[in-house]
Amino acid sequence: MQISVVIPLLNEAESLPELVQWIDRVMQENGFTYEVIMVDDGSSDNSWEVIQDLKAGYSAVRGIKFRRNYGKSAALNVGFEASRGDVVITMDADLQDSPDEIPTLYHRIVDEKFDLVSGWKQKRYDPLTKTIPTKLFNAVTRQMSGIHNLHDFNCGLKAYRKDVVKSIEVYGEMHRYIPVIAKWAGFKHIGEQVVEHRARKYGTTKFGFSRFINGFLDLLSIFFVGKFAKRPMHFFGSMGVLSFLAGIIITIWLIAEKLIDIAHNVKYRNVTDQPLFYIALVAIIVGFQLFLTGFVAELISRNSHERNKYQIEKEI
C-alpha cells in the first residue's frame, strides 16, 4: 500500500463525508493505493455513526473510536500504529487542509527521499490572536530544536516515511513537535512544503490559549528527554556541581575577608551576619540536592527496559 491518511477528529461529523469523497477523488486520479484511518477522539456528536456509514461506502476507510477524549497526540499515535502505507500523511478533519496536496507530499517523500515533510500555511485565515502567538512559538521552537527550515511546526498536514511513524511515540500534547521528536530519533532529513490553508467550513475551532502554556512545557520536556534521557547525571550533576562550587567559593571568600580584616585590626562582621552567607548556604544545599537527583535518575535510567534501545537505520 502506498499511502495511509491518518485523520484525528473531534466533533467533525459535518465535514467527514466531503473530506473522504475529496481524498478518494485525489487518490483515484493519481492511481494511488491507499487507506484512510479516522481516529474519533471521543466525539460527543454523531461522528462515529458517520464514519461507519463511510466505511460501508468506501472500502479504504478504517475507523478507530476512543471511549473518551484523550487528545490529538493520542489519536495520532494510535493512527500511526495502525497505518500500513509506505507513506503516512496526516491532516485535520475540518477541511482546512486540502487533500489536493497529497500527491506533492507523497512524491517529496518517495522521490526526494525526505523522512518528513511538514506543511507551511504561509497564508492563513486565522485571527491575529492566534497567528501572532503561533509565529512567536514557532520561532522559539526553531531556536531550541535547531530545525531552522520549518516555519510551522504545528501544521496538521504532514507526510512521513513509514519508518518514522513506527519509530516515534507521540503523547501528551507532543503532536506540535513531531519534527523535533523525529529529529531526536535520528530522522534528520526534514523538509517543508507550502500548502493551502482553507477557511473553516463546519464546526468550531478547538484552539485555546492554554495550548501555548502546555506547548511550551512540552517543548522543554522534549528538549530534556531527547538530550539527557539516557544520561540524566550529565544534566543534574553538572548543575549540582556548579551550584555547590559557587556556594563553597562564596563561603571561602567571606571567611578569607574576615581573616584579612582581623589581621589588619579592621572592624569586621561575623560571617553569619552577612546575607551572602545564606545565599552560599542555599547554593550548597541546592547543589547537593541536584547531584542526588541526578544520581537517582541515573539509577532509574539504568534499570529502564529501554536503556539500550537505539534507532538502527540499516543492518546487513
- Residue ranges of the domains in the chain? 3-228, 232-302
Above pLDDT 70, what percent of the chain? 84
pLDDT digits (tens, 9 = 90+) for 128-178: 666 677 778 788 888 878 888 898 888 899 999 999 999 998 887 788 889
Phi, psi of 255, rounded to the nearest 5 degrees? -65, -45
Q: Over 70: is that where the pLDDT of 306 sits?
A: no
Report the pLDDT value the prediction gives residue 235, as an integer from 0 to 100: 83
Label the pairing between strands 158-161 and 61-65.
unpaired
Mean pLDDT lowest among 86-90, 226-230, 268-272: 226-230
Report the pLDDT value the prediction gives residue 278, as an integer from 0 to 100: 92
Q: What Cα–Cα distance (Å) separates residue 156 from each residue in 1, 3, 115, 121, 230?
A: 22, 16, 16, 10, 30
Q: Over 90: is that where the pLDDT of 66 sits?
A: yes
Report the pLDDT value the prediction gives residue 212, as an integer from 0 to 100: 62
Mean pLDDT lowest among 111-125, 153-167, 197-211, 257-271: 197-211
- More confident site: 215 or 248: 248
Q: Give me the mean pLDDT over the 302-314 stretch.
A: 55
Q: Give me the mean pLDDT over the 212-224 stretch.
A: 69
Q: Give me the mean pLDDT over the 192-210 stretch.
A: 71
**What SS3 state is found at 23?**
helix
Q: Over 50: is that where the pLDDT of 35 sits?
A: yes
Report the pLDDT value the prediction gives residue 310, as an integer from 0 to 100: 47
Q: Quote the mean pLDDT of the chain.
A: 86
Give the dihedral sign, CA 77/78/79/83. Answer: positive
Using CB atoms within 10 Å of the CB of residue 91, give its burial: 0 to 12 exposed, 13 to 18 middle, 19+ buried. Answer: buried
pLDDT digits (tens, 9 = 90+) for 230-264: 678 888 888 999 999 999 999 999 999 888 888 88
Q: Give me the mean pLDDT over the 21-26 stretch.
A: 96
Q: Over 90: is that where the pLDDT of 104 sits?
A: yes
Amino acid sitting at position 105: L
Report the pLDDT value the prediction gives residue 25, as an integer from 0 to 100: 96
What Rg, from alpha-carbon coordinates, does the chain have?
Answer: 26
Report the pLDDT value the prediction gives residue 12, as an integer from 0 to 100: 92
Architecture of the domain spanning 3-228: Alpha-Beta Complex (3.90)
Q: Over 60: is that where the pLDDT of 226 sits?
A: yes
Closest CA to 18 of 82, 98, 76: 98
Report the pLDDT value the prediction gives residue 175, as an integer from 0 to 100: 87
10 pLDDT band (50/70/90 cuts)?
very high
Contacts of 47 (CB under 8 A, 6+ apart): 9, 10, 11, 12, 13, 16, 40
What count of other Cβ atoms lies within 10 Å of the Cβ of residue 128? 7
Report how far residue 32's alpha carbon sits from residue 102's, in angstroms, rounded to the nearest whole number: 10
